[in-house]
Structure 1
Amino acid sequence: MSDTEHLFQRGKNGTWYVRRAVPASLRKTGEPKLLMKSTGTSDRQEAKRRAHPILAEWEARFRAGAVAPLPRTPSDHDLEAAAVMVGYDGLREHEAGRRLAAASAGGERWQRYQRRTAINLSAAEDRGTIRSLADAAIDDLGIDLAPDSGGYAKLCEYLASARHAALDTSYRAAHGEIAPEPEGGIVTRVRERSAARAKPGETLLELFEKWAAEMLAKNALDGKRGKRADTINQDRKVVQQFVAFVGNERAVDSITPEEIADYRDVLRDLPPKWASHNALKRLNMRDAAVKARELDLPRVAFTTINKHLSTISPLYTWLRKHPRWAGMKNPVDGLHYDDVKGANPRPPFTTPVLNKILQSPLFAGFIADGDEHKAGNQHVDDWRKWIPLVCMFTGARIGEIAQLRVGDVRQEHGVWMIHIAHDDSAGQSTKSGHSRPAAVHSKLEAIGFLAFVERQRKRAGGDNAAQLFPELKPNNRGQIGAEPSRWWRDYLAAIGVKQGRDGIGAHSFRHELADRLRDEARLMDNEVAVCLGHSLKSTTGGYGQLRQGTVTMLKDWIEAVRWEGVDFEGLGNSV
């Protein structure tokens, strides 16, 4: 369906609106089935142009599995544009007609018109008139503003400025100035921004989608280049927020470093996930930032802001490779915060902490589901027990183990191994973008992991493609490891192992195994890297097609880790 087919006009000569049905799969009870937004113009051709980025943004949200949110308070740019449209353009057109009629009549009527322009100019900021204009603008343009909101007050302020500019130019025209123009101010700002509008197909969101398609295609080739779908979806949210800040019709080459710095500084005043905060979610970024400072809310981290800038910057780098934008300056250059990464500790579990975990209620017996941290007689035989243990013995990440299929645990060359798969078609992924083996340690086998896998195989009717942990479901980002990751952090806190943001978590198993591979297995760091699934980037590493580290070699290395001082007694009988 074309953009034109999404347009409809209210009234014979009224404003054009764009509409789009919400896909059936995304519809929810009580929520609108049809999205609708004003284009802010009664000109059909202009409406067609303005409809394109609106539809592109909605389509991007649908692809991300989300319905366009409730409209927020318009940005300052939106309010200024509305004020100029209603308070300047409309009034100038009206005054031009009156001036022409008076000039044609001449004599006393022309003199009365001249006096009237002076009177009108002196009353340019009449509050009653301004509020009437504001209400008309809200109604005609579909602006979402409450009468008692800060945005409404701003609209009135901008309307007063625009109306004064219109009446001033009318006064000057009536007193002999030929084709007077407004002297700076709001009208000039809006016109400059209008001149910087993107051509059809060249809005930031449209260009982002083209860049995203290329990144996904590159990732599909070998998994080394480009970006995965989930990463693209997260990038899209950043770009959508940035576009809402600078204007969704801006030409990419019109955005200045000053505006990027402004976006960075406003973002710094906001709390994390500000768009879902009850006090801020219907405000634009600027108003939300002001409100957040009034409420003394936590601030977005410098590292998060740098991530935003690092999402916007590659789009400009990509565009500069196209003749259309060759030589364009990247406005993000030099605006990242320096020296803000700081320490991000990922400490290993020490032997005493491992013993505290393994002797805790989850493994020794707990009182009830939901109270796994309280001692009792109930034992568990699902992901809550096995994912932490498999992470401990393999150094794998929670998400990599949570996604396992029954057939991923199998023998290869006589060695029991876990196939940690990267397979987009099966919804499995690894951070490196490559599949890898992990040898099953004899202690993990003794605890009963292989017996658990066989039980799961029988429950699945011998289906090797069945999930090893069928209770787990992907979140809205397609991440099956989200629930166990969150659950494990909460459990560690409940048993007194974790306190605040101390870096202790499932990744501590990975660091603990690295230390024991160095100490007990006497491996060099390049060998530790192979055990943990870090590909070695070297000239030799690029030769041939076999993966680095055979299963038998990995088995020998993993078995050399003796887990000295760790008490596994009782774990094998807890099923």
Structure 2
Amino acid sequence: MVIQREVSMASCQFLIRNRHQTVWYSRVIIPASLRTAFSGKRELRKSLGTPDKALAKRHSLDFWLDCQNGFDRLKENNNLNASFRNTDEFITWLSEHVHNQGEKSPMKDIDTTDALGRRHIIKLNGDTKAEAELAKQLHDDATVLILELKDNPEVLHDLLNLRDNHFPPTESPPETQTAVSEAIDLYIDKLNTQGRKGKKLAQRTLLNYQGRLEFWKVHFGQTPINEITLKELARIQTWITRLPVNFAKKGLSVQKAIEKAQNPEVKHKVISDKTRAEYLGQLKALLEYAFSSGMITADMAQHVEIPNTKQTKTVERLPFTSEDLAKMFPSENYGKEPAARKSGIDPAAKFWFPLIAAFTGARLEEIAQLKPSDIKTCPDTGIIFLDIVDQGIAGDGKKKSLKNKNSIRPIPIHPTLIKVGFLDFVDHRKADKKDGRLFKLKRDKQGRLARALSAWFSRNDRRKDGTIIKGYIEKCGIESKGVDEEGQQWLKSFHSFRHTAIDNIRGKKFEGGQFIRELDIALVMGHEKNKKETAKYGKDRSQLELRKAVIDALDYTTVDFSKLKWKS
């Protein structure tokens, strides 16, 4: 019996799970000399159709043995000119060229890599059964050893690194070394030109991704991306939990912030799970890109764990109460901002945005993108509506965008808005032939038109001298954030109008006595839920009348809007 052992550059598993963690897959490494026949692929994967690990091991071993026989046949018969696009094609070829030959081709040796990254070449004079049993035992021994050392990561790391110090590598290194900074630049360029997973990204999303990637560029710098180790990734996932919150706003550089995070003794407020998921998500995406681009030969991305934020306790957005609305719309004094200060925001936007949101439930950016020509009249019904669309351009010449496809919808204008003078305001804006905007707003760096208005409405600014500049609702005597008796954080912001409008409609009836359904509310609000049903609704007569009936149900009885009047 001759057993030759080598160790590969990357730790490989012969069993993996699908992304739902329900079914086991077998993973077989394709010898480097044969990868051209497999369109350059490094491995074959086959579903074993079972969640039972013990059964999956046996099926995986059978598949692995078949693959080795097939690899041997390919090596022995170079004139076959075989080519396989996927695992299924290779399995079909095996059945035709190996299994149907009367007997399986004798396997000269077994070449396998265990979970520790150790390569084993086993020769037992053609005794395939004994070879398979020994291979299985070597894999099992490696798995047991990893489990025994799971609480001793230093020893496990040293064991994994034995290959680097004592054995020649068997994995092909990347053709050229690429610095992490260069890899990030290439990945950002790909995101800008091709998007992610075939989907174009919004400017705000692109900038968010780029900000997280720039963080990793500073951290890794000119380090070759193929030199990032599993130990380094494990350390990152530890100290990233202690990264200071809003460190850039506090004047900390990336390096200083990382130094604080790497020191467990330093106490400070740390980033949320959501923010941590964003940082790690971009690191994982970068490694996936590097692997698919050939910058690294091991799939390091699979070792980056993204925190599950679905169960994370978040800040609860509250609707405005009747008392809040009475303070916000103080009859004839509305529009005369208390303790007003110059903010550079269009006064018309300050006047109309809260009113439009209260009587439509529309999102902030949906209102901000409106042009005078987006206020339309249905020729069949005479219903006047806001046409919320993602096609064409906004008044400032930039492309329109919406949250989701269900956001595309007509919203009938509430009679209260008409009485206050909204249509007069629209006519006033139409008269300005040089400016195609309904509201004179400027985009921020992330492409948002209403960011400044959102801050004016509910965000409190603290000056360098410690003075707090209150938002509009705070100046009206409305608390914008707090903590309830159970310790749950809450806030009120412009988005609270959506919750307010929905709560106001819920439970009411149409004139015919029928209750307004949740589906009807989702239709008007542009909710993503029930997307199959809401997507069917359009601008035809019957559906526009239904939308108007829902909108007309909005009624804030505690607020006197009769004395409010727009003055150009």
TM-score class normalised by the smaller sequence: 0.5 to 0.7
Pick aligned residue for 1:239 from 199, 206, 213: 213
TM-score with structure 2 setting the length:
0.55
Aligned position for 2:318: 347
1:500/1:559 CA distance change after superposition, 3 Å: closer
User: How far apart in 2 are the matches of 1:549 and 1:284?
Assistant: 61
User: Does the 8 A contact of 2:243 with 2:271 survive in 1?
Assistant: yes
Pick aligned residue for 2:353 from 382, 387, 402: 387
1:334-361 deviation digits (Å, cap 9, x = unpaired): 3426676203311111222211211189
User: How far apart in 1 are the matches of 2:306 and 2:229?
Assistant: 12
Pick aligned residue for 1:467 from 437, 445, 449: 437
1:291/1:508 CA distance change after superposition, 3 Å: same
Aligned position for 1:370: 341
User: How far apart in 2 are the matches of 1:212 and 1:290?
Assistant: 30
Aligned position for 2:492: 504
DSSP 3-state at the match of 2:384: strand
Aligned position for 1:481: 450
Are residues 1:447 and 2:435 paired? no
**Once the 2 structures are TM-superposed, how far is the Cα of residue 235 of structure 1 from its aligned partner?**
0.1
User: How far apart in 1 are the matches of 2:537 and 2:356?
Assistant: 30
1:298/1:245 CA distance change after superposition, 3 Å: same
What amino acid does structure 1 have at the position aligned with 2:499? H
Structure number with higher helix proportion: 1
Pick aligned residue for 2:557 from 545, 554, 564: 564
User: Does the 8 A contact of 2:187 with 2:289 survive in 1?
Assistant: no
User: How far apart in 1 are the matches of 2:535 and 2:423?
Assistant: 34
Pick aligned residue for 2:364 from 398, 417, 424: 398
User: How far apart in 1 are the matches of 2:542 and 2:184?
Assistant: 44
User: How far apart in 2 are the matches of 1:325 and 1:525?
Assistant: 51
DSSP 3-state at the match of 2:411: strand
What amino acid does structure 2 have at the position aligned with 1:468? L
DSSP 3-state at the match of 2:403: coil
DSSP 3-state at the match of 2:195: helix
Count how many residue pairs are aligned between Structure 1 and Structure 2: 366
User: Does the 8 A contact of 1:245 with 1:285 survive in 2?
Assistant: no
User: Does the 8 A contact of 2:524 with 2:547 survive in 1?
Assistant: yes
User: How far apart in 2 are the matches of 1:542 and 1:256?
Assistant: 48
Aligned position for 2:402: 430
1:340/1:308 CA distance change after superposition, 3 Å: farther
Pick aligned residue for 1:359 from 319, 330, 351: 330
Aligned position for 1:553: 546
DSSP 3-state at the match of 1:275: coil
User: How far apart in 2 are the matches of 1:293 and 1:411?
Assistant: 65
User: How far apart in 1 are the matches of 2:336 and 2:473?
Assistant: 16
User: Does the 8 A contact of 1:246 with 1:259 survive in 2?
Assistant: no
Pick aligned residue for 1:524 from 517, 521, 526: 517
What amino acid does structure 1 have at the position aligned with 2:404? S
Aligned position for 2:474: 493
Are residues 1:334 and 2:286 paired? no
What amino acid does structure 1 have at the position aligned with 2:445? N
**Once the 2 structures are TM-superposed, how far is the Cα of residue 484 of structure 1 from its aligned partner?**
0.4
1:546/1:314 CA distance change after superposition, 3 Å: farther
TM-score with structure 1 setting the length:
0.55
Aligned position for 2:188: 209
Pick aligned residue for 1:230 from 193, 199, 204: 204
What amino acid does structure 1 have at the position aligned with 2:235? D
User: How far apart in 2 are the matches of 1:573 and 1:210?
Assistant: 47
What amino acid does structure 2 have at the position aligned with 1:420? I
What amino acid does structure 1 have at the position aligned with 2:403? K
User: Does the 8 A contact of 2:225 with 2:295 survive in 1?
Assistant: no
1:381/1:453 CA distance change after superposition, 3 Å: farther
Structure number with higher strand proportion: 2
DSSP 3-state at the match of 1:467: coil
| Uncovered stretches (5+) of structure 2, i.e. residues with no partner | 1-160, 459-470, 483-489, 510-514
1:229-249 deviation digits (Å, cap 9, x = unpaired): 221121011012123223444
1:412-461 deviation digits (Å, cap 9, x = unpaired): 33211112232475423221155332110011111111111112222x13
What amino acid does structure 2 have at the position aligned with 1:408? D
User: Does the 8 A contact of 2:377 with 2:383 survive in 1?
Assistant: yes
**Once the 2 structures are TM-superposed, how far is the Cα of residue 499 of structure 1 from its aligned partner?**
3.8
**Once the 2 structures are TM-superposed, how far is the Cα of residue 391 of structure 1 from its aligned partner?**
0.9
1:37-95 deviation digits (Å, cap 9, x = unpaired): xxxxxxxxxxxxxxxxxxxxxxxxxxxxxxxxxxxxxxxxxxxxxxxxxxxxxxxxxxx
User: How far apart in 1 are the matches of 2:249 and 2:567?
Assistant: 43
User: Does the 8 A contact of 2:179 with 2:225 survive in 1?
Assistant: no
User: Does the 8 A contact of 1:404 with 1:468 survive in 2?
Assistant: yes
User: Does the 8 A contact of 1:421 with 1:430 survive in 2?
Assistant: yes
| Uncovered stretches (5+) of structure 1, i.e. residues with no partner | 1-183, 220-224, 373-379
1:416/1:349 CA distance change after superposition, 3 Å: same
Compute the RMSD of aligned alpha carbons. 4.0
1:528/1:265 CA distance change after superposition, 3 Å: same
Pick aligned residue for 2:281 from 294, 310, 313: 310
Q: Percent identical across equivalent pairs?
A: 21
User: Does the 8 A contact of 1:303 with 1:340 survive in 2?
Assistant: no
User: How far apart in 2 are the matches of 1:368 and 1:569?
Assistant: 24
Pick aligned residue for 1:299 from 259, 265, 270: 270
